Structure 1
Amino acid sequence: MATDAEQLAERRSLRRRLSGWRIVALLAVLAAIVVGSFWAAGDDIPGTAHVARVHVSGLITGDRKTIELLKRVGESAAAKAVLVVVDSPGGTTTGSEAIYDALRRLSAQKPTVAAIDSIGASGAYIAAMGTDRIFARHTALVGSIGVLVQFPNFARLLDIVGVKMEEVKSSPLKAAPNGFEPTSPEARAALASVVSDSYDWFKGLVRQRRHYDDAQLAAVADGRVFTGHQALALKLIDQMGGERDAVAWLEANRGVAKDLPVREWRARSGSRFDVLTYASHIAAVLGFGDLANTLARSELAIDASRLDGMLALWHGPSEK
């Protein structure tokens, strides 16, 4: 029969072995999470040269996640070129400007090409101009060079139901037009000047990027959309085709190696259950309480650092 001292020594040895396996298990799971998260988010994994595919789709708002995505692609040594797939009717003028600026910075780092799938209009066309070359399918919709501000006016409806909005404001043009009263000539003129200024900026960008003279610009800048075939004749795009044609152009004209895989890059989800969160939970399950707490505090600190401070928002008419 084992003595008490032998049993104690055996229990200590067993605890050491268990602790060793727990540490190995924790490290293995952490490594799997880190590699998986980098792969899912499209981050740089050494030795995997590829053409990065980035989508500009839906309503363009210039959100921070998309800007960060383009920055990460630019910093990736594995991404040898960038294919920007455009499929969007546009969005806010400032958001489109932000995406355009980010794509110009990216184009200074590595070759870029845009492929307009079904629609690349208004703000989406602004984004496409941020790349080195624009492709579009024959029947894709391209153009819509213009700026639009829309707002509903419920003044007559409120009169019918007997409701009147009361307000106190610093000056007559503050928050005008507001939809609850007839739009004054002064408010309409002020808004028209904003639209005109944004429109002039848009046209100036088209003139610069597409090398237009006055006549060429006037022919495309009246707000209409064109098919890809029409857009080619008007020099709004450089070439007809889809993604495969765009990649072939990169290979033939930008020194990109042939037959590189095209790899999808996506914006990070921003979920709180990121690598540190998962690691914290796993550490807690495996019995590493101090490590779990440290990881949790680190995750909160990173979240706090992402805030930009106070926000000043004007909930006004939407721009497209």
Structure 2
Amino acid sequence: MSVDPDLMVDRLRLRRRLLFWRVAAVAAFVLALTGVGGRSLLQGGTLTARPHLVRVRVTGVIGSDVSRQVALIDKAAENRAVRGMILDVDSPGGAVSGGEALHDAVARFAARKPVAVAMGGTAASAGYMISVPAQRLFATRSTLTGSIGVIMEAPDVSSLLDKVGVKVDQLVSGPMKGQPSAVQPLSPEGRQMLQGLVADLFDQFVTMVAQGRHMPVERVRALADGRPYTGRQALALGLIDQIGGEREAKAWLASRLHLPPTVPVEELKVAGPRDWRLRLMHGMLRVILGDEWAGSVVSQGVALDGAVAIWKP
């Protein structure tokens, strides 16, 4: 059967138009997403001009890269309308570097405006580290907090490689360069070196707690054997200030700042892969371009450095 040349030309023309409008729709959507969602990525809310509080949530394992959350906190500290911050923590800890960065950001904010921490089910290790610069720490009676300490793990599969007949020659520039190694046993000198790193990071953690809680270093060190404490135990030990949650934290801030109890609270939220804007974008890309072009829009992972401050039940 012959094909009408005019019909073929019309079909090609329609395909080009369809492709043009698909590309235009994607471009318009991306621009709209940038205009509406991009602000939320760095601000997380409207940040109105009237006096208000901000809420920063830290949940789950704290990764090594917390730069976007740090930027949120620093930006809020510069905003004159922001009078104080509720730090909502529900985390077992995580990377020492990430915990230190968040700790310092909270400390910078607290040096200018009051911060109240509302601990959830867990605010342990690095989750406790980021809390201590606040002026007031609230926790429920059953909150697990404390767990002041640092972990550094060095996996060793050399015995397994021996069993399967695999030998790995490792060339290093110095005896400590290859320590630790997953394919070589940890040497006594390497163990001593790594223990020194852990001890130094632990001293830094203890100092943060001592300064934030206004406690003698010796007192903090006596409590810092790695164990977690319930909120009730932590209150008796001076690791927190009061039993309560976000409602009590907000009331304390409002009282201290002489603001009405109904003072608005703006949430500062870093847009993540589960953010509704990204889910919507992925869905629209699948509709506009088809499954074969949509691909994977975002990927998620929590990066941890070698040393972690985390409660591991």
Q: How big is the shift at 1:181?
A: 1.4
| Contact 2:115 2:134 (C-alpha < 8 Å) held by counterparts | yes
| Contact 2:107 2:133 (C-alpha < 8 Å) held by counterparts | yes
CA distances 1:79-129 after superposition (whole Å, capped 9, x unpaired) = 221100001111111211111111111112222111111111111111001
What's the secondary structure of 1:59's corresponding residue? coil
What's the secondary structure of 2:60's corresponding residue? strand
Who is 1:261 aligned against?
Answer: 264
| Contact 2:157 2:182 (C-alpha < 8 Å) held by counterparts | yes
What's the secondary structure of 1:173's corresponding residue? coil
CA distances 1:34-90 after superposition (whole Å, capped 9, x unpaired) = 466546743554434322110112222252111111112112233221100001111
Q: Distance in 1 between matches of 2:242 and 2:119?
A: 11
Measured on the aligned residues, the alpha-carbon RMSD in Å equals 2.7
Q: Is residue 60 of structure 2 the alignment partner of residue 78 of structure 1?
A: no
Q: Distance in 2 between matches of 1:36 and 1:187?
A: 48
Q: Distance in 2 between matches of 1:77 and 1:99?
A: 21
Comparing both chains, which one has the higher relative contact order based on Cα–Cα distances under 8 Å and sequence gaps of 6 or more?
2
1:241 partner amino acid: G
Task: Choose which of 162, 165, 168 in structure 2 pairs with 1:162.
Answer: 165
Who is 2:201 aligned against?
Answer: 198
Task: Choose which of 227, 236, 249 in structure 1 pairs with 2:252.
Answer: 249
- Mind listing any 5+ residue stretches in structure 2 that lack a counterpart? 1-30, 282-303
Q: 1:118 to 1:160 in 2, by over 3 A?
A: same
Who is 1:307 aligned against?
Answer: none
Q: Distance in 2 between matches of 1:316 and 1:93?
A: 7
2:68 partner amino acid: K
Who is 1:235 aligned against?
Answer: 238
- Mind listing any 5+ residue stretches in structure 1 that lack a counterpart? 1-29, 279-314
Who is 1:53 aligned against?
Answer: 55
Instruction: Name the % identity.
Output: 38
Q: Distance in 2 between matches of 1:230 and 1:263?
A: 32
Who is 2:27 aligned against?
Answer: none
Q: Distance in 1 between matches of 2:73 and 2:305?
A: 29
What TM-score, normalized to structure 1?
0.71
Q: Distance in 2 between matches of 1:46 and 1:141?
A: 35
Q: How big is the shift at 1:318?
A: 4.3
- Alignment size in residue pairs: 251
Q: Distance in 2 between matches of 1:200 and 1:47?
A: 42
Q: Distance in 2 between matches of 1:161 and 1:234?
A: 52
Q: Distance in 2 between matches of 1:215 and 1:109?
A: 29
Q: Greater CA radius of gyration, 1 or 2?
A: 1
2:158 partner amino acid: A
Q: Distance in 1 between matches of 2:162 and 2:234?
A: 47
Runs of 4+ in structure 1 over 6 Å off: 30-33
